[in-house]
Amino acid sequence: MTALFLVKAGDPVLRSRAAQALVDELLDGEDRTLVVEEFVIPGKVRAGAEESSAPAPADDAARPPVVAAILNAAQSPPFMTSKRIVVIRDYEQLSADEAAPIAAVLADALETTAFVLVGGGGRAPKSLVDALKEAKVVGPDSEKTIDVLAAELERADLTLGGDAGRVAAERLGDDAGRAAGLVEVLGAAFGPGATLTAADIEPYLGEAGSVPVFQLTNAIEEGKVAGALSIVDRLLNVTSARSPKPMHPLQVLGLLASRYRKLLRLDDPSIRTTEDAHAALGGKGSTFPAKKALEATRALGTDGLRRAIDSLHQADLDLKGASAMPENTVLEVLVARLAALHSRSRGRTGARR
């Protein structure tokens, strides 16, 4: 039965659920306590830690025994069962020397053993990367919050009526892993078969989740001042399993500056079509982003772009000490100015039509 599986998902909650479902499937009714051996690779020493003659930190000292236990499990036949399942989590934490014997045993394991490797982030040693080329990759069908929410609702036999689905997806943001927990709570509270409204689910939604950065530029270019301010607040303050740290104001400023550099590149009379804009922006992937950028550039015009760049420049100075204004407030002012600028430009464009 020798089999090799690689569980992949960006969200730790979805990754854990996928691993659990896979192990349940592989067990096929056998006793988990006798079949499954699970190992977590301890983390490496933090980058930048000073070297000294002191004893190795606990994490480094803990890895060799775990590696030895994995090799022993991999090379041992099952006892009182027909199979053995070896689960290895956070395998990227292994050093090249530690990974080599594990990679070798993966390539020449007993027919009765299945290996499930679950990533935790980072770069794995080359020997393991090569060994895992033969692995069957397992993970969620989609990591989009709306898709995960829909799948969980179907599994729980619940329906979100009216705009309840939109409200839930917006509150969860990019934190798709929370969808499963939310649906479990709703199922416990209302029972299978229930159709729920936005008012029904509101008390169970919890704090707003993190959001992808493109939602900020979308809101700004749509001229939605309040919406853009709400999104930038989430970027600066909200964490999630996928985004364990909020963004720094300078990070958000850098992303906005990059966006407006692209718009400046399209402020050229020779760029007349979406295809021209796509080529000017590198000519890779879908033409839809180039189409949106060209529309924003035309709506702002040269004068509007100049004002946007002036606002970005002033915010950069303020974040670096030119103003006593708090950093988050500097960025909020910038976002409000940019969104208002786009709102006025959209109004002018509509008037010309």
The answer for residues whose C-beta is within 8 angstroms of residue 176's C-beta and 6 or more apart is: 11, 13, 14, 143, 144, 145, 148, 149
* H or E element that contains 37: strand 36-40
Q: Is 289 helix (H, G, I), strand (E, B) or coil?
A: helix
Per-residue pLDDT of the chain (353 residues; tens, 9 = 90+): 458 999 988 888 888 888 988 999 999 888 888 999 999 998 764 444 333 333 334 466 788 899 999 999 988 888 888 999 999 999 998 889 999 999 998 888 888 899 999 988 778 889 989 988 888 998 888 888 889 899 889 989 999 988 898 888 888 877 777 888 888 888 888 888 999 998 988 888 866 666 778 889 999 999 989 889 888 888 888 766 566 678 889 989 999 999 999 999 999 999 999 999 999 998 888 899 999 999 999 999 999 999 999 999 999 999 888 877 888 888 999 999 999 999 888 765 544 43
- Please answer whether residues 189 and 223 qualify as being in contact, where contact means their C-beta atoms are separated by less than 8 angstroms: no
Assigned token pair, 326: 């708090």
In angstroms, rounded to a whole number, what is the distance separating the alpha carbons of residues 323 and 318? 5
In angstroms, rounded to a whole number, what is the distance separating the alpha carbons of residues 4 and 151? 27
Which domains, and CATH codes, for the chain? 3-138 (3.40.50.300), 145-204 (no CATH), 214-352 (1.20.272.10)
Fill in the DSSP letter of residue 108: T
